[in-house]
Structures are given as C-alpha cells and as structure tokens.
Amino acid sequence: MSKSLLVTGGAGFIASNFIHYMMQRHPDYQIINIDKLTYAGSEANVQENTASSGNYQFIKGDIADEQLVNNIFTEYDIDGVIHFAAESHVDRSINDAKAFIESNVLGTIVLLQAARDTWEKTGELSTRRFHQISTDEVYGALDLETNEKFNEQTPYDPRNPYSASKAGADMLVKSFGQTYGMNVVTSSSSNNYGPRQHPEKLIPTIISNALQGKPIPLYGDGKNVRDWLYVEDHCRAIDLIFHEGKALEKYNIGGGNERTNNELTRIICDILDHLKPEQHSHKSLITYIGDRKGHDRRYAVDDSKIRNTLGWKPLTVFNNGLNKTVEWYVDQWEKAPL
C-alpha cells in the first residue's frame, strides 16, 4: 500500500542514501524530506533521483521549529516518520554541545508531539509509526581485550555529548510509546560507510587527504575499533524494521566488520595505491595526532535479533563496499577537484 513518509535529515549522509533506496524500492511512496541544511546537509545529495519525481517533496526547515512541523502534519497525511535528522559528529559535540541538544533532543520532542497530536485525533496513534534512528554509541564503549558486544538489553551508558543527546532522544521516543501507546520503534546501528558522507568523518577524511598528499590524521594510537556497516545494508534494515519491526522494540544493526582505525586506514591506502599508482605511497601520509577527549575504545553490536526475527543480514563484503566507496569519492573529487 502506498504511504507518505516524513524523512528527517534527508540531505545528510544516511538519510539521502535511504531516500534513493526507498524511491527505487517503493516508487509509489511519497517522501517528504525536512532538512535544515546545516553544514552537514546538501540538497545535491538527493537531487539525482528526486529531481523529476512527483513523489518527492523537500522542505528546508528545522525539526525544532514547532509551527513548521505542525504545519507539515496538517498539510500532509503522514503515515510514518523516519527520524534521522541530528547533529552527528562527536568531535563537534566535544567542542560545543548546544546544537546537539537543540536538534537531537528538542527536535525529537517537537516531532514526537506533532505526530502524537495528529495521530491521536485520527485514532491512529497505535498504527502509524515513528521510527527513531539511533546509534550503537548510546551503549557506551567496550574494551579491546573482550569479545563482548552490545545487545538490545545493554544499559545505556553514553560517554560523549553527542551520544548523550542521542540517548536522551531515544528515551523520549520510548516514553511516548509507553505513555501514549504510540507505535514507536528504534534501531541502533554501528558506523556507516558509503557515498555522500560528510568529509569531516574518518573514511572521507582518509580518502580526501590521501588524494591531496596531506597527512592522514589518526587519533591516539589508532587502535580504536569500529564495526563498519555499508550504508545500503543499513537502508535495507531500516525499510524492514519500519514495515515489520515490533512496536516499542529496539533493533541493533551491525556490519560484522570490526577493524581498528589503523587497519581500516591501511586497507583504504592499499585501494588508493591500486587506483592511483602514479601518486605517492599513501600509507606514508598516516600521521598520529593527539587523541579525541574521552575517545570510546571499541563499539560492536550483537545484531542476532534482527537476523533471527526479521531475516536481515548485511550483504556487502567489506572489501567490495570499501572499493565502491573509495571509487565514488575519487570520481566525485575528479569531477569537482578538491
């Protein structure tokens, strides 16, 4: 059945990939994308597939703007919200967390209240869905020495202002399910990689600096571990959870690709050495710099719940996903030189 979905933050990395995915997977769905176009968002991220589509609407605006959000719910018959919009960069939250509270916490409560008020009036509070996009960072950090992973029962233990703001938002979402009987669901994924990620994040930083012959900055000893999930596999999981996940439940989504930052950087340098043999040795650019404050050592999620109950698993082989990703950035930067 055709649906109207409100996607928040659709000009950013994951949600723009999600919009591309959904327009192919569910061409009959109407997608309404609200994005403030902060430094992290770009309309170009969504222009490719949406330009000629009558089923796509872009609204430039802030999810914390109550009047605007209420108007959207009045104007469109929203069947579901998939809430991605957030300030997303840990380093920025360490420098100044105010915008993280405004967008991630205040923005979430504004959306929740507008959805609750609209769906309460039409008696659809328990059928229309609010899907909160969260992160494995809300669970805290793991030691390098253990094989332990976060599961859906792991208590929240956010350790930086970004993850604290996401944890706050997740709690609000859960509370709306408990208090008002709203049909909420939350998914927490590990680190995503793929096209259209902002250059501030690790993988685009490695590629862009390497291409320009600039130092590749690795924090601390480079031994911190992240579990890398190809963004398209994440989009497929979100589609499945949005449609088939159980109300009030949480689902972890992992890539099954735990790598230290050292290992990841070296793999990307090998790919670049192959693609750009005429350039310098890319690994020689790796430079260790001061550590991130409170740098979480390791994240890893146990995603057996989504695998066992919804039949999802990541399909992208890590090296293939990384090859595609590096090629995408090289191609972009060849079209518009750095």
Annotated catalytic residue within 87, 136, 232, 233: 136
Annotated catalytic residue within 35, 62, 137, 233: 137
H-assigned helices in the chain: 13-25, 44-50, 66-75, 90-95, 98-100, 107-121, 161-180, 202-212, 231-244, 261-275, 304-310, 318-335
Q: 89 or 307: whose CB is closer to ligand TDX?
A: 89
Shortest distance (Å) from residue 136 CB to ligand NAD: 7
| Token pair of 140 as six digits | 């805290």
The verdict on 86 binding ligand NAD (CB under 6 A) reads yes
Annotated catalytic residue within 21, 139, 162, 299: 162
Shortest distance (Å) from residue 173 CB to ligand NAD: 12
Name the binder of 219 from ligand TDX, ligand NAD, none, CB < 5-8 A by kind. ligand TDX
Residues 6+ apart with CB under 8 A from 205: 199, 216, 217
The verdict on 137 binding ligand TDX (CB under 6 A) reads yes
Name the binder of 5 from ligand TDX, ligand NAD, none, CB < 5-8 A by kind. none
Interface residue with ligand TDX among 8, 38, 224, 257 (CB under 6 A) is 224
Q: How far are the Cα atoms of 68, 112, 244 from residue 117, in angstroms, in the given order?
A: 14, 9, 24
Interface residue with ligand TDX among 33, 50, 261, 325 (CB under 6 A) is 261
| Token pair of 254 as six digits | 């992992």
Interface residue with ligand NAD among 64, 82, 115, 330 (CB under 6 A) is 64
Going by their DSSP bridges, the two strands 286-289 and 216-219 should be labelled as parallel
| Contact range with ligand NAD by CB under 6 A, out of 79-87, 122-130, 172-180, 324-332 | 79-87
Q: How far are the Cα atoms of 115, 118, 127, 181 from residue 123, in angstroms, in the given order?
A: 12, 9, 9, 11
Q: 23 or 238: whose CB is closer to ligand TDX?
A: 238
Q: How far are the Cα atoms of 15, 87, 196, 210 from residue 112, in angstroms, in the given order?
A: 19, 18, 28, 42
Distance CA 168, CA 162 (A): 10
Whether 162 sits among the annotated catalytic residues: the reply is: yes
186: β partners: 132, 250
Distance CA 150, CA 17 (A): 25
Return the residues of window 195-214 that contact ligand NAD according to CB under 6 A. 198
The verdict on 241 binding ligand NAD (CB under 6 A) reads no
The verdict on 217 binding ligand TDX (CB under 6 A) reads yes
Are the C-beta atoms of residues 50 and 10 closer than 8 Å to each other? no
Whether 136 sits among the annotated catalytic residues: the reply is: yes
191-206 burial, b at 16+ Cβ within 10 Å, e below that, comes to bbbbbbbbeebbbbbb
The verdict on 73 binding ligand NAD (CB under 6 A) reads no
For residue 82, which amino acid is it? I
Instruction: Assign 3-state DSSP to the chain and report helix, strand, coil percentages, each to 5.
Output: 45, 20, 35
Return the residues of window 298-337 that contact ligand TDX according to CB under 6 A. none
Whether 120 sits among the annotated catalytic residues: the reply is: no
Interface residue with ligand NAD among 33, 41, 269, 282 (CB under 6 A) is 41
The verdict on 205 binding ligand TDX (CB under 6 A) reads yes
280: β partners: none
The verdict on 196 binding ligand TDX (CB under 6 A) reads no
H-assigned helices in 134-195: 161-180
Q: CA-based diameter of the chain, in Å?
A: 64
Q: 14 or 211: whose CB is closer to ligand NAD?
A: 14
Q: 29 or 156: whose CB is closer to ligand TDX?
A: 156
Interacting residues toward ligand NAD by CB under 6 A: 9, 11-15, 34-38, 40-41, 62-64, 84-88, 103, 107, 133, 135, 166, 189, 191-192, 198
Q: Which residues are catalytic?
A: 136-137, 162
